[in-house]
Amino acid sequence: MSGDGYPTPLYSHAGRGPFQDVYEPSEDSFLLVDALEKDAQRLQLLSPAVCVEVGSGSGVVSAFLASVLGPSALYVCTDVNPAAARCTEETASCNNVSLQPVITDLVGSRGIEAAWAGGQRGREVLDRFLPFVPQLLSGRGLFYLITIAENDPEDIIRLLEKHDLKGESRLSTRARNERLSVLRFHRT
């Protein structure tokens, strides 16, 4: 539990039994949760109507956000993996929040789960998804993105600046052999 009283969502079912093929929350998930917690007051003041998580896996990040913002927002959790959608439903149930899992591939036949793998700089799928962000983000909205150093976070910030989105590194950490960062973007 954090100092602000937001508990880490329950997720012991992820990666086990019928959910063995679902990405278990790890350092990247928890870094994003930490960034959202750090921005909790700002997010509450924004009072978003819709929150979307792309590649939700277990749904732990959206469950955390729903615990911070409450039931007034719609929480859409997309994933290409049907087991992840069921796992997200279970995470929502375990944490008494309402999440809406959607089985979809927003960026092509490989799935957003591959966003940090493949291609130059490990960004094959991510580079196909990023052009949609300016179209999807509301005027007051925030876009959070987990990156590894290989993804070239500064290049991603420059790329989205061309679409009038200002980005910054919100939190960073080293996890095993990876340098993880959470980038946050908003309209300029």
Give the predicted TM-score (pTM) of the model. Answer: 0.88
Phi, psi of 168 (to 5 degrees): -150, 155
Q: Is the dihedral of CA 29, 30, 35, 40 positive or negative?
A: positive
Report domain extents, the chain: 17-187
Confidence check: pLDDT of 98 > 90: yes
Coil, strand or helix at 95: coil
Q: What is the DSSP string of 69-83?
A: H-TTSEEEEEES-HH
Pick the CATH number of 17-187 from 3.40.50.10420, 3.40.630.30, 3.40.50.150, 3.40.50.300: 3.40.50.150
pLDDT tens for each residue of 145-172? 999 999 999 999 999 999 999 999 999 9
